[in-house]
Amino acid sequence: MRLLLAAFIPFLALAQGNVVVTDAVDAELQRGQVSVSVVCDDRSLGDLVQFALSLHGAVRLQPNGAARVVISRQGVSATVACDVARFAFQKEVRGRDEEELALLAADAVIAGVGRALRLRPLYAGTKVAFTSRGTGHDEICKTTLVRARTLRLTSYRNTSIAPRWSHDGTRINFIASLDGFPGLYTTNGVGAPRALLTGVRGAIGAASSGPDGRLVFVSSNKGTMDVYVADANAKGARRVITASGSQTVNADPAWSPDGARLALTSGPTGRPGIYLASSAGGATSRLSTGYSYATEPRWNPVENKLVFTFQSGRLGLAVADLAAGTVQEVPAASAFDLSHASWCADGRHVVATQASRSSSWLAVVDTVTGKVTRLTPSQLGDCSQPDCWTRRD
């Protein structure tokens, strides 16, 4: 009897230990998180993957995470696997280079261990354009969510601002005054920029590309800040929204994913709000946000939602669920201002401008948990105006 009891006690302790572990994992998942440890046979790749995963608000990287992920590299291919029963998966990924391989491996981890939380791929389908003052002048740059290869696309020692991706992700449109007047230009980073619209006598706003390639932008060429829609080369521009008086400003027009609607900032300069309109033109309707100052709307690529900037003592971000008719402030755990957000491919995270009184940088923000992670290093100087291209499957 004593032998049986002696044998049973370790078994009972082990069983209780398993129950504790299982309960802890369940509690973690109920909080919308999963702890992950990453083991990789290639340090460079492993560091990139872990940096990418560190941006995700639903992932906690720790040495003894509940989901132990093993990455085995073979050149520009890798096997990503987890043999823990609760999160078990295996996926082969192949990239064109180490950076893309890291992005694909990070997506494999998110899709694999995040099944219970319905997490979507985030990394490989997101590219980021932004403005940097690292040279002392505003220049256009691009990067990814592992920031392994940040490239400066312009070197005009001028003011190059307001980058916006083309619909297919091959070019970036931006504003510069290369001929003495503001104009729209486009570049793929090779050779001189191509002019889209030049010699504008007045203000001009960023040219956002719709799902079919058409551009929407604002211009004061006719005296007021009006909204125009043109083809991908800014030809055939047609005014679709006219400002109602000299005190009204239209700005930040953004396409809905289906191209049927526009969201924009409009209203008096001191009390702007978010408005919706048909992309064909006509009347605008103000979105009830609960804020007297709301700007910079951007449409979610996978859900009927908008992210926008509000001002209420500070600059912050909020998400409007157009289907549910609700507005939720992003619970960012940060004392710094957040503004000018652009959605990532998963429709959960955004890249935003984060700023103190003396500097600004890009940050990845989880709109669900409020986790904020710096993306651009200090060597790039002040960074702002991010625009994300997301893959349209």
Quote the CA–CA distance of 232 and 376 in Å, as a whole number.
30
Domain ranges of the chain: 23-117, 126-390
Position 393 scores a pLDDT of: 65
What pLDDT is recorded for position 168? 96
| Mean per-residue pLDDT, 157-175 | 94
What is the value of pTM for the model shown? 0.92
CA atoms within 13 A on the CB side of 222: 13
Which two tokens mark 274? 């978010």
**Interval 171-203: pLDDT, tens:** 999 999 887 788 999 999 888 889 998 877 778
* Cα–Cα distance, 50 to 372 (Å, whole number): 16
Cβ neighbourhood burial of 13 (10 Å; 0-12, 13-18, 19+): exposed
Q: Can you tell me the distance from the alpha carbon of 234 to that of 103, in angstroms, rounded to the nearest whole number?
A: 33
Q: Which fold is adopted by the domain 126-390?
A: Neuraminidase (2.120.10)
| CATH class of the domain defined by 23-117 | alpha beta
CA contacts within 13 A on the Cβ side of 55: 30
Beta strands in 76-193 (DSSP E): 77-82, 89-94, 126-132, 139-143, 151-152, 161-165, 172-176, 183-187
Backbone angles phi, psi at 6, to 5 degrees: -60, -40
pLDDT at 390 over 70: yes
Q: What DSSP string describes 154-185?
A: ---SS--EEEEE-TTSS-EEEEE-TTSS-EEE
Span 281-329, pLDDT tens digits: 989 999 999 999 999 999 999 999 999 999 988 999 999 999 999 999 9
Given a cut of 60, is residue 20 above it in pLDDT? no
**pLDDT exceeding 70 applies to what percent of the chain?**
94
